[in-house]
Structure 1
Amino acid sequence: MNNCHLLLLLIGALLLPINNVLALPHPMQARQAPATGDVAGGTWQIVGNTGVNAMHIFVSAPNKIILIDKLENNLIKQASGQPAVSTEWNLDTNEIRILDVTSDTFCSAGSWLGNGTMLHTGGDNGNNFLAAGQQTLRFYDPAVGNWVEMVGLMGSKRWYPTMLSLANGKALILGGSIGGTGLNRAEINNPTYTIWPPTDGVTPDPEVQFQFLIDTLPYNLYVMLHLVPNSENKNLIFVLANQQSILYDLDTATIVKNYPTIAVQRTYPQTGTSLILPLYPETNYLTEVMVCGGQKEFEILSVAEASCGRMDLNAAEPVWTMDDFGGLPRVMPDSVILVNGEILFLNGAGTGYAGFRKGKKTNPLWANDNPTFNPVLYNPTTKIYAKMNPSSIARMYHSVATLTPDGSVFVAGSNPQGNVETEVLYPTEYRAEIYSPPYLLTGASRPTIVTIDGYIVNQGRIPITYGNTASIVVQLPKTEVISFTAAIIHHGFVTHSTHMGQRYVGLVVKEAYSDATTADQYILTIELPPNPTIIAPGPSYIYVLNNNFPCVKGVEVLLN
């Protein structure tokens, strides 16, 4: 980030009201509940109250999650007295801290920059309390601990854009509309993209026209974007909107490849989810995209889609291979890549589409209904789904899920109405849950990472470099059968079933030997990814596993 932005972040830190710096227990703080479930299907535990509905979410530190809502009548207040829009969740204490937001964040997007700052942009019109958010840039630096905003900076309005971390450490900001809508329309469509930071580091570059976002109307909001690995350090982007997908060279602004259409609508408001399946060096980073769920019709009573498509992006003749999505129809699902490389699909509805309820709360017609309480666990190697134990909470429109550093999944949100409502069938949902997958529940010993390249863990981000090796010291009882593997995971930014930038890369363990100087300690040498197209620069987490059981906690690194 340029010096101007850094100065603004530092000024913002100095101006923070003291009541926003402290963790604030408050009347809405829910008690931690007993866990439900079992080893075979995982457990669920309600762990507290988020204070704001979790429309957007990202992991900001090893024990912190940032939640962002839209402007609505949440009970907790900012220092200004207006309802809170954003909070920080402490994974260790299950407490929240209120953050300051001065612009409208409704239906925005986010992405990590290579320097370790979260870039967030877009939103809605604002009101007497909040400035318009559509052209606002927001920065979250964990070292500062609060939002710093540049209102009105960007060249055009964006509502429902998508963002993506790039190989050059910058972020792509693509598409959206210039105003709120269900289905997008030509008169409010924003078929452009821009990149931040700009060429001169300060003034936004001219926006680039993107015909694909005209061709895919009206289903071109929160499009699916993924950085595609390559050996030339190009910013090659997989883009899917409506039922169409392309490979786009961002550096030359050209379409490299047109992929086959996928059956059924998969983008907002008939929302599915997508991810790049885990990448492994032993397969030369074979790159497969997976797109799951969605909806055939823009119709409230329509049953959601029970299918997934999977495609090798570099095949000579790419083709979508379809399956039944574990047999559960699901619109608005979330896809979370777990530490062992399996995929957890959760949240969503069995009927309808993304949108608010129709009519009054005394006689509502829900745009999405029949919540899908059961997650399914997908093994990308065997291509088998396993139905997991259900949550007790409906997680539909405006709900989220993310992997946490300890290998569990944080689940929050759901607000399928335009404002805070509690006395209805599907209320504004403030309860947060932790889902513990089976791999955390067997009682097997889990490695503990002690140092990486001599840096003691949990004392700040550890710098690592592409193409290098790293030395990792772990503790594990020497009575265990030892079979170490490792991975690096970027958790991304999550909203509206879109996991922007989420990435899993397996790491080669070149060497692992017992440390003769310290009991129950091992020294591992791992190979880091060869270039930034495999996993983008910025903050990620390194995990070590033993016999497929993840370490006690992943370690945050800054990869450059």
Structure 2
Amino acid sequence: MKQPRRGGEPGTAAAFCCAVLAVLLFTQSALADKSVTRNAVATDAAVANDEQPHHDTFSSGHTDPLVAQEVAQEATPPPPRYRRPPPSPFSKTTRPPRPITIANSPSTPPPPPNPPPPPPPVITPPATAGSFVKLDTLAPVVALAMSNVPFTRKYLLFERAYGPSEVAMGFVVRPTGGTVDLDTNKTTNFSPAYNPGCSGVGHLPDNKIYTYGGDVPSAPRGMGDGRNKIMVFDPAANKLVVVGTMQKNRWYPSPLTLINGKVLIVGGTDIGLVPPTWDFAELWDPAAPASPTVKVTMPANLVKYMGLNWYPFMQLLSNGDILWFVEKGGAITDGNFNHIVDLPPFPASITHCTMFPKTSSISVLAMGPPTYDLSFVIFGGGDCSNSATIKSVNIPPAASTSLRLDITKCGSSYCFTKGWEVEDMLGVPRVMGDSTLLPNGKVLLHGGAQFGGANSGEGWSTKANFQSLVYDPYKPAGQRYSKMDFAPIARVYHSANCLDPSGKVLVAGCENCGAYQQLATGMSLSPNAPLEMRLEFAVPVEIGTGVVRPIIIAAPEAITKGTTFKVSYSYPGGGAITRVALVAPCAATHSINMGQRVIYLQVLSATPAGTLTVAAPPSALMGKALLGPFLLFLVADGAALGPVYSEGVWLTLN
């Protein structure tokens, strides 16, 4: 019997070879189809997830290494590829799919690797905290007082009537009131019927500026006695209109709008520089402006320290309680003027005075959620040993320290856990300075003198201060002060600073800026000395030349307490928006800004497209006192530069 041949008959072998070849061809075709299909699926998945497919090139002339790997290793399942999360609902656009790249000849070289990303820019911390820029426009009057006219870049200014002898003194007799518009560079002058000099100033929810009290009549200027008048500025008619009358004459009073919308008027004397002062404050109702004011009893610890009670420092706490402070002491009462707690006494090391004529500048700090606690800082002051009638001859320099008090709610009372924090102002003595609270929470401290005190005429103060400072309340004690550039224009008695909607600080005025100020080398004497009409901007470094700032694209014209609103913005600087600030309009006079307030708002959400959802202030916060005109600012992380901020936009808080 024949044994079969190993491997089978010749015909069977040929068939076997043909079958193997067919299987190989089929496998190659399937692998090619599989490569294309996987690539297409990956592309579709990438588009569905708003991402670009993972190709190394946009053209079809280069090998995709993912496809080449799959062809070479068809027996090995590919590792799972990273799948990005679903697209954000805030995505601006959906990218179109890129062309599918199919593997070409193995002879095609792979593309070169992408270059490494550039290193992040090196941001050098600023050398100074800010600079000064002189404006071409001159002020229409010497700015004894200066206030923002809401919804404009216009300012209302008053100067002092220099008395019956001002003609003999060589002064140009001009109208006491004036405005300057920084958008048009136009100025105006007007003559009030009653003298508003040395009045208290403030804004009310009707978006208007009010004055409280004033000065004696001025025959050269045609003004009557303004000491007991309450007046409102009419910007359309460019005049002051009497709307109410106080029970007493008040020279140097301070107004405060309360939670119920009424205005508490505290301090002031019958006439300048001499007693009597008054043992009661007055409550005025703007809803019934012609009605008589109501007498208010002042807290005993204020009366203890008040002296002649010139321009006391008055502030409203978040729940409507009232802070009263003058010279070295004060108290907190509720909104009905019932005593709650006395402020702590100054440390024994503090012997200087803080109120006129040894005038310090006092600033509140920014308030924010959730507690909206109040803090304030007293900058400088002067030696207490000489009175308002002794000139600055052989007396100690002004104080070079500040005092900060943080106030927190403790049950039904208040706590002062740290007491008064005493800090050195880099050794720079200052009396009659001006402090401006910035949208980023810092305080710009400018002007004043190094010796003497406040009063008109030669010799009351000397050595105008050329070294301005910025105070950062968020840094540890001992590290909060930094120096600005040299200040070339003296600003001493009867000057004022206001935050401008641009975010810069407008600096104006000075009545005692003659050569007797012993100006430092580099300071320029006023062409109108001793009066100063030149205007400047103090520019914080966070918004200096070349700084990329957030830009508010759209914001509401009005917002309502207790609701939310949206702000559209852009920030090419790339950092996060860290704060949204409401800044009250300025009402500054005699080293005190009576309307100074910055309220931080809660940011509820932010989209990559540049939309913020923001919570307006809570309905109960400060009641009717927190209504009316505000500037809205955005504050962003500026890395080493610090918290940069946008220009402001006006809105009404209802």
TM value normalised by structure 1: 0.80
Within 5 A, what are the aligned runs for 1:416-455? Answer: 416=512, 427-441=530-544, 443-453=546-556
Query: 1:337 aligned to 2:437?
Result: yes
> Residue 109 of structure 1 corresponds to which residue in structure 2?
200
Partners in 2 of 1:370 and 1:425 — Cα distance? 18
> Residue 379 of structure 2 corresponds to which residue in structure 1?
292
SS at match of 2:542: helix
Once the two structures are TM-superposed, the CA of residue 145 in structure 1 deviates from its matched residue by 5.1
Once the two structures are TM-superposed, the CA of residue 93 in structure 1 deviates from its matched residue by 3.2
Query: 1:261 aligned to 2:354?
Result: no
Once the two structures are TM-superposed, the CA of residue 527 in structure 1 deviates from its matched residue by 1.3
Once the two structures are TM-superposed, the CA of residue 395 in structure 1 deviates from its matched residue by 0.7
Query: 1:121 aligned to 2:212?
Result: yes
SS at match of 1:294: coil
> Residue 507 of structure 2 corresponds to which residue in structure 1?
411
One-letter code of the match for 1:435? A
Contact conserved, 1:508 with 1:527, CA < 8 A, in 2? yes
Within 5 A, what are the aligned runs for 1:309-458? Answer: 309-314=403-408, 316-318=415-417, 319-357=419-457, 364=458, 366-382=459-475, 383=477, 384-416=480-512, 427-441=530-544, 443-453=546-556
Within 5 A, what are the aligned runs for 1:454-469? Answer: 462-469=557-564
Are the structure 2 counterparts of residues 337 and 559 from structure 1 closer, same or farther at C-alpha, using a change threshold of 3 Å?
same
Partners in 2 of 1:304 and 1:218 — Cα distance? 20
- Which deviates further from its counterpart, 194-203 or 121-130? 194-203
SS at match of 1:388: strand
Contact conserved, 1:199 with 1:205, CA < 8 A, in 2? no
Once the two structures are TM-superposed, the CA of residue 553 in structure 1 deviates from its matched residue by 2.1
> Residue 20 of structure 1 corresponds to which residue in structure 2?
none
Partners in 1 of 2:627 and 2:260 — Cα distance? 7
Are the structure 2 counterparts of residues 219 and 387 from structure 1 closer, same or farther at C-alpha, using a change threshold of 3 Å?
farther
> Residue 26 of structure 1 corresponds to which residue in structure 2?
none
Query: 1:165 aligned to 2:268?
Result: no
Partners in 2 of 1:464 and 1:424 — Cα distance? 46
Partners in 2 of 1:84 and 1:171 — Cα distance? 28
One-letter code of the match for 2:325? L
Contact conserved, 1:449 with 1:553, CA < 8 A, in 2? yes
RMSD in angstroms over aligned alpha carbons?
A: 2.8
SS at match of 2:626: coil
Once the two structures are TM-superposed, the CA of residue 327 in structure 1 deviates from its matched residue by 2.0
Are the structure 2 counterparts of residues 485 and 296 from structure 1 closer, same or farther at C-alpha, using a change threshold of 3 Å?
same
SS at match of 1:215: helix
SS at match of 1:326: coil
Once the two structures are TM-superposed, the CA of residue 426 in structure 1 deviates from its matched residue by 5.8
Query: 1:228 aligned to 2:322?
Result: no
Once the two structures are TM-superposed, the CA of residue 325 in structure 1 deviates from its matched residue by 2.2
Partners in 2 of 1:124 and 1:217 — Cα distance? 21
SS at match of 1:278: coil
Superimposed CA distance per residue, residues 374-410 of structure 1 (whole angstroms, 9 cap, x where no aligned partner): 1111110114100111211111111111111111010
Query: 1:536 aligned to 2:623?
Result: no
Partners in 1 of 2:629 and 2:287 — Cα distance? 23
> Residue 402 of structure 2 corresponds to which residue in structure 1?
308
> Residue 194 of structure 1 corresponds to which residue in structure 2?
282
Unaligned stretches of 5+ in structure 1? 1-37, 76-80, 358-363, 454-461, 516-521
Within 5 A, what are the aligned runs for 1:514-533? Answer: 514-515=608-609, 522-530=610-618, 531-533=620-622
Are the structure 2 counterparts of residues 350 and 417 from structure 1 closer, same or farther at C-alpha, using a change threshold of 3 Å?
closer
TM value normalised by structure 2: 0.69
Contact conserved, 1:333 with 1:345, CA < 8 A, in 2? yes
The size of the alignment, in residue pairs, is 483
- Which deviates further from its counterpart, 500-509 or 294-303? 294-303
Partners in 1 of 2:439 and 2:583 — Cα distance? 8
Contact conserved, 1:334 with 1:497, CA < 8 A, in 2? yes
Once the two structures are TM-superposed, the CA of residue 317 in structure 1 deviates from its matched residue by 4.6
Once the two structures are TM-superposed, the CA of residue 508 in structure 1 deviates from its matched residue by 1.8
Partners in 1 of 2:463 and 2:306 — Cα distance? 28
Unaligned stretches of 5+ in structure 2? 1-125, 167-171, 409-413, 518-524
Partners in 2 of 1:275 and 1:441 — Cα distance? 23
Q: Percent identity?
A: 27
Once the two structures are TM-superposed, the CA of residue 152 in structure 1 deviates from its matched residue by 7.6
One-letter code of the match for 1:474? Y
Partners in 2 of 1:84 and 1:325 — Cα distance? 39
Contact conserved, 2:205 with 2:627, CA < 8 A, in 1? yes
Structure having the larger proportion of residues in helix: 2
